């Protein structure tokens, strides 16, 4: 008598699943379309446009890569699977983390726990990025959360203080300065004007600062 093969149902928007069932169905998807589990509900990503997502995503990750290269042993990741708790498994656009800090790698190679910095490019996803996902990141102890709102032409950079997200205030030149990663400065006005040379120059100047040198010498999380 032939054994019946158990069919794995496809993921669909609005499914309510445990993270293990979510992972099982996600692994069975033929093209591995991006999907996330937010407060136990499945969200499927829309096709991504170049101007409103792919380009700003690449620009911002390029800056984080520059910081990472000057700041061992920090690590960046693009769209990694991040298990935050039993109801939330995200694929943020980017993370910057300190090995041995708030997160670790699971046996399957996923990030388990809270990266120090999470980045999201918010075009059509702005409502969820600044709503449910922001609450989940705060609840799980993500220390900094950067959201680039493409259509509103603004960046929101939050830092965790006593369990509450506060907004980073830019200096007089419009520069946002990380509280977790010394030397990680972001020139918001120049970024929004697509003047990437000026944005890179701002960052590189701070990478030569004494505070950044002290951070690297400290061993970062050791």
Mean pLDDT, residues 210-218 taken together: 95
pTM (two decimals)? 0.87
User: Tens digits of per-residue pLDDT, 2-12?
Assistant: 444 467 777 77
Task: Identify whether residues 16 and 81 lie together within a single domain.
Answer: no
For residue 45, pLDDT beyond 80: no
Task: Identify whether residues 96 and 144 lie together within a single domain.
Answer: yes
Q: Could you tell me the CATH number of the domain that includes residue 106?
A: 3.90.1570.10
Mean pLDDT, residues 89-95 taken together: 94
User: Tens digits of per-residue pLDDT, 7-38?
Assistant: 777 777 667 777 788 878 878 876 657 887 78
Task: For residue 65, tell me if it sits in a domain.
Answer: yes
Task: Identify whether residues 166 and 212 lie together within a single domain.
Answer: yes
Task: Identify whether residues 15 and 57 lie together within a single domain.
Answer: no
Task: For residue 222, tell me if it sits in a domain.
Answer: no
d(CA 147, CA 128): 11
- Minimum mean pLDDT among 97-101, 129-133, 134-138: which range? 129-133
Which residue range is the domain that position 24 belongs to?
1-45
Task: Identify whether residues 41 and 52 lie together within a single domain.
Answer: no
Task: Identify whether residues 93 and 28 lie together within a single domain.
Answer: no
Task: Identify whether residues 97 and 192 lie together within a single domain.
Answer: yes
Count the domains in the chain.
Answer: 2
Task: Identify whether residues 37 and 58 lie together within a single domain.
Answer: no
């Amino acid at each position: 008598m032939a054994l019946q093969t158990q069919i794995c149902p496809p993921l669909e928007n609005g499914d309510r699943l445990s993270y293990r069932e979510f992972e099982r169905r996600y692994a069975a998807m033929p093209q591995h379309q991006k999907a996330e589990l937010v407060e136990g509900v499945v969200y499927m990503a829309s096709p991504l446009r170049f101007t409103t997502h792919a380009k700003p995503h690449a620009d911002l990750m390029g800056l984080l890569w520059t910081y990472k290269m000057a700041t061992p042993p920090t690590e960046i990741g693009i769209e990694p699977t991040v298990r935050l708790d039993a109801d939330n498994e995200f694929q943020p656009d980017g993370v910057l983390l300190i090995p041995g800090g708030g997160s670790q790698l699971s046996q399957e190679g996923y990030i388990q726990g809270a990266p120090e910095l999470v980045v999201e490019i918010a075009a059509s996803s702005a409502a969820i990025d600044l709503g449910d996902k922001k609450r989940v990141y705060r609840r799980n102890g993500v220390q900094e959360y950067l959201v680039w709102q493409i259509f509103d032409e603004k960046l929101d950079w939050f830092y965790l203080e006593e369990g509450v997200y506060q907004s980073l205030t830019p200096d007089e030149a419009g520069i946002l300065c990380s509280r977790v990663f010394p030397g990680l400065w972001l020139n918001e006005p120049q970024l929004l004007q697509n003047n990437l040379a000026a944005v890179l120059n701002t960052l590189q100047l701070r990478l030569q600062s004494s505070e950044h040198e002290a951070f690297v010498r400290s061993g970062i999380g050791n």
